[in-house]
Structures are given as structure tokens and as C-alpha cells.
Amino acid sequence: MKSQKSLAYKLSIMGATLIFSASLGAARLPQSGQQPASDNTKTNQGDQDTGAMTADHQKMNPADRQTSQQIRGAIVKDKTLSTYSHNIKIITQNGKVTLKGPVRSDEEKSNIEAKAAAIAGADNVTDLLTVAPSK
């Protein structure tokens, strides 16, 4: 009798787990009328080019990490910058900084470049930022 109750309990737990898991999966499906998530495949294709600077090139030595962290901190602290700007790629390799990604305006682009130059030196910054069109 005890084993039947134990088996029934285990089956009810398994059933509840399956129902919960199914509800989580259903919650992730887009509702009708919603647009699918953005696809950045075309934007990211340039990262596949030979010699393209990507986040994988970020050196893990303390000086390069600190430089990237300081630049990121200066950018995120500036609340006048868009979310796009807060999320650019900052890649530091042997003291040389590369800035990549979309920003909302030429003003943001020059603002970010100035912040990076103040930290790393103007001769050590490569600006590959692009101005994304407004939606």
C-alpha cells in the first residue's frame, strides 16, 4: 500500500513538472500580431572578415581590461547617451582601443570617441562606430 502511495505521489509530481515546463515553453512563443525579434545577421557579417576586430580579440591582461572597463564606465555613466551607445563593443588590445557598433547620432559618436580618447589617448582609439537610422 505504501509503495502505491509513493508511486502515485511521484507520478503527480512528474505531471505537475511537465505542466509547468510546458507553460514556460508556451510563454516564450510570440503572440499573434507580435513581430519577431530583430535579426542582426547582416550587421554581424562584417565580424567574420579576416582581420575584423571582435570581442574575442579583447586581451585579458589587467591593463587592457582596466582600459575597457574605464571606457565602459564613462559611457554608461552618461545618461544622455542612448541604449545603443551604452551597448557598443569596446575592444582593447595592447593599449589600442577599437569602438564598434551602432549609435543614434553623430553627436553620440563623437562623444564616445572623446571619452575613449581621454582614457586611452587619441592616438590609441579606432572609431568604427556607425550611426543607426531612427526607427
- Only one residue has cell 570581442, namely 55
Please check whether residue 19 lies inside any domain of the structure: no
Least confident among 13-17, 35-39, 66-70: 35-39
Please check whether residue 63 lies inside any domain of the structure: yes
- Which grid coordinates are listed for 14? 512528474
Please check whether residue 40 lies inside any domain of the structure: no
Q: What is the pLDDT of residues 77-108, one digit of tens each?
A: 999 999 999 999 999 999 999 999 999 999 99
Cα 9 from Cα 2, distance rounded (Å) = 11
Please check whether residue 2 lies inside any domain of the structure: no
| pLDDT value for 133 | 78
3-state secondary structure of 61: coil
Cα 66 from Cα 90, distance rounded (Å) = 11
Please check whether residue 41 lies inside any domain of the structure: no
Average pLDDT on 127-132 reads 94
Domain that holds residue 103: 52-131
Please check whether residue 64 lies inside any domain of the structure: yes
Please check whether residue 112 lies inside any domain of the structure: yes
Q: Where are the beta strands (DSSP E) in 1-135?
A: 89-93, 96-103, 125-131
- What domain count does the chain have? 1
Q: Is 95 left (phi over 0), alpha (psi -120 to 50) or beta?
A: left
Please check whether residue 1 lies inside any domain of the structure: no
Q: Which is more confidently placed, 37 or 115?
A: 115
User: Which residues contact residue 100 at a Cβ distance below 8 angstroms, ignoring those fewer than 6 apart?
Assistant: 53, 88, 89, 91, 128, 129
- Which grid coordinates are listed for 132? 543607426
Q: What CATH number is attached to the domain comprising 123?
A: 3.30.1340.30
